[in-house]
Amino acid sequence: MKSIAIIGASGYTGAQITSLINADSNFSVQGLYVSENSLDKGRKLADLYPTYSHMAYTLSPLSDDAKKKIVAEADAVVLATEHSVSLELAAWFYQQGLAVFDLSGAYRFADVAQYPKWYGFEHTHPDVLAQAVYGLAEWNSEQIKQTRMIAVPGCYPTASLTALKPLKPFLTEMYPVINAVSGVTGAGRKAQLHTSFCEVSLTPYGVLGHRHQPEIATHLGQEVIFTPHLGNFKRGILATITVQLKPGTTEADVAKAYSVYDNAPIVTVKHNQFPKVDDVVNTPNCHLGWKYDANSGYLVVASAIDNLMKGAASQGLQCIKIHFGV
């Protein structure tokens, strides 16, 4: 049984992955940690989230002694922390010999030049970054097995790349256009006026400037137009994507391309039938639905995931299980 430490466990994603690891007989939770100045230190997870009242874990401050204890007792660490915090913690734990599963964006780009523009900091650990693998579980399983530094993808990129990567051989130079809507949990647990439920009305944000656009483009190998929207619901993502396919591409070609997921139990693909957010909420699943107009060469594919599950925590657990071979 592998022992996993979870840092940043008081947030939505940290709490979610704690519950998943706690329920998996292959793993044990070494401990839950928050920053030393967090108001949640010393509190029980169940006090923050009564839905997890079956778990008796307490949130401990991540002191130097706690870090030494993690290194001595844990096989891996999950980081559900802010990007700049993960940058340093991931490198430190990696250098101590632990496997690191980072749910932030601090190791998703191989190119250090991307970080000042999209995350606002210089990447200070290029040696560790060079070992990082992008944890898109259905596509990078061999690499995930072989490295101890896994960057779990963002929520919108997971939904978008799962839909687009099978189509890559058929894409033209026309940029795929991605319109995606997320529930407000995607903005995190911190109180902010614009994500207060009473203030939320369906609206685009980060237009032509969201950091998930270059993440999608980098790992697809093609530029995209990506427009996220904030929806007035708690959790889930629906991404509707329009792409132009090369002349001569047939419906059978598309069906064959998506057959890559035939042995992927988490991904369901349907033709001429489109997914609903409610069907994937609180599950690790990704539902895809597509329709192709051979006359115009345009295809529309919709992708639905739970932003806290397949978009973060359950994909993190997928990566952990792939890495440890369980």
Q: Tokens representing 129?
A: 């970054």
Is residue 277 within 8 Å of 202, Cβ to Cβ?
A: no
Assess whether 155 carries a catalytic annotation: yes
Task: Give buried/exposed letters for 219-255 (b at 16+ CB in 10 A, else e).
Answer: bbebebbbbbbbbebebbbbbbbebbbeeebeeebbe
Beta bridge partners of residue 299, listed in sequence order: 243, 292
For strands 2-7 and 27-34, give the pairing: parallel
CB neighbours of residue 12 within 10 Å: 20
Catalytic residue selected from 155, 198, 286, 319: 155
What is the C-alpha to C-alpha distance for residues 164 and 151, in angstroms, rounded to an integer? 20
| Type of residue found at 133 | V
Kindly list the catalytic residues: 155
